[in-house]
Amino acid sequence: MTLPPPLDWQIAKIGPGQEVPPEHRVTRENWRLYPYSRWAFQHTRELVPSRALCRSTAPRRLDEGFVPLDDLPSVGDDAGGAISWAEFEAQTYTDAMLIIHNGTIIHERYYNGMTRHTPHHAFSVSKSFIGLLAESMIADDVLDKDAPVTTYVPELADSGFAKVDVHHLLDMTDGVAFDEDYANPGADVHRYSANYWTPALADGGVRAALARLTGRDHDPGSDFSYRTPVTDALGWVIARAGGKRLADLFYERMWQPAGCADEGHFLVDTAGDEIAASGLNTTARDMARLALLVSEGTGIPTAARASILSGGNRDLYAKSKYAERSRGSYGSQWWVAHDGFGSISALGVYGQRVHIETETGLIMIRFGSHPLASNLHTDGLHRRAFEALRNFLR
């Protein structure tokens, strides 16, 4: 598929007093589509209701020691050629790229009008930090990973989640039937997401939609399949176990300990509940602070970090369609590579990535507005970029 070149496309370029042409107006119906997404992913609060994550009372200072990545050995492109680091960022429709090595920011670059203080939509990167929140609560005995989901959410007693335990949600081995194929216009994920931000098509919000998921593909624990509603179910369980709104629990256990220095937010669905699976919006620097919780292991329970780094069931992952991504696993809502670098990743559609290597001290935060939803289109390019970066930093 031939894609248009990256655009510096912003509604902000319309002059004062000028009417925005209808074809350039960003709406709830088009904001996730290119090129509207180029502006919308940095302005979600103007399009969808949200709940604030206030600035931490003890913001963490991030050390800086910038390294010119123009000197980086060329990144291999998909055609077998070579491109510069700047070309890699441009070709992947980057809005923000921030790299940390051994706790110090060595590279920080913004495109498309984004700045250091601009929050960006993280999409399914949210899932991984909801997983971290759940593991933190499990480590502190606030949440029982072996308890049935219905212990916390009896409203799911007649759904496909009825015989599922919390740990099945964490590893997405619950078996509830759901089609997550973004390329299929008729897939379940498109009807389900209407409950996020399309009131005219919604029917009671995400929680009501979860209760209507009654089908099953397999027994709990017998297969792995990545599906967005599973994280929303986990978010509901977390809120019930913690006795507070999800955003409040996230602030207390993640945002505040990380020392996040800007205001972030969770988008809320058509019923007013936080969107656990894809609602987090942060600045690049605050996403880096959240990533450092996992990388450094400070500010979170030791057992929570250990559970994430151990990953999920590798045999189940190897049988899944995601085995082409790595010889890894999926556990605690994180993609775990099981390589020699201690690599784990949080991934979101349209180019959102958090990559952490616990053995090399490397962290990459990237926000983007790629025209294509699936990150599989740029996985190979990112793998080669990580390799070039590692070799450069040795």
Residue 3 has pLDDT above 60, yes or no: no
In this structure, the number of other CB atoms found within 10 A of the CB of residue 172 comes to 26
What would the pLDDT profile of 46-72 be if each residue is shown by its tens digit? 999 999 999 999 999 999 999 999 878
Helix residue spans in the chain (DSSP H):
36-40, 85-91, 125-139, 149-152, 166-171, 188-197, 205-211, 228-242, 246-250, 256-258, 284-296, 302-310, 314-318, 379-393
**pLDDT value of position 8:** 41
Mean pLDDT over each residue of the chain, to the nearest integer: 92
Answer yes or no: are the C-beta atoms of 349 and 182 closer than 8 Å: yes
Instruction: Return phi, psi of residue 296, to 5°.
Output: -90, -25
Residue 197: alpha-carbon gap to chain centroid: 18
What would the pLDDT profile of 226-241 be if each residue is shown by its tens digit? 999 999 999 999 999 9
Domains recognised in the chain with CATH numbers: 11-393 (3.40.710.10)
Read off the pLDDT of each residue in 310-319 and give the average, rounded to a whole number: 97
What would the pLDDT profile of 122-148 be if each residue is shown by its tens digit? 999 999 999 999 999 999 999 999 999
Read off the pLDDT of each residue in 288-298 and give the average, rounded to a whole number: 97
Read off the pLDDT of each residue in 102-121 and give the average, rounded to a whole number: 97
Judge if pTM exceeds 0.75. Answer: yes
Residue 206 has pLDDT above 50, yes or no: yes
**pLDDT value of position 202:** 81
What would the pLDDT profile of 255-278 be if each residue is shown by its tens digit? 999 999 999 999 999 999 999 999
Tokens 């039937």: give the residue: 177
Q: Which residues pair with 368 in a beta bridge?
A: 94
In this structure, of 231-235, 347-351, 372-376, the range with the lowest mean pLDDT score is 372-376
321's CB contacts (< 8 A; 6+ apart) are none
Residue scoring higher pLDDT (265 or 75): 265
Read off the pLDDT of each residue in 242-256 and give the average, rounded to a whole number: 98
**pLDDT value of position 1:** 41
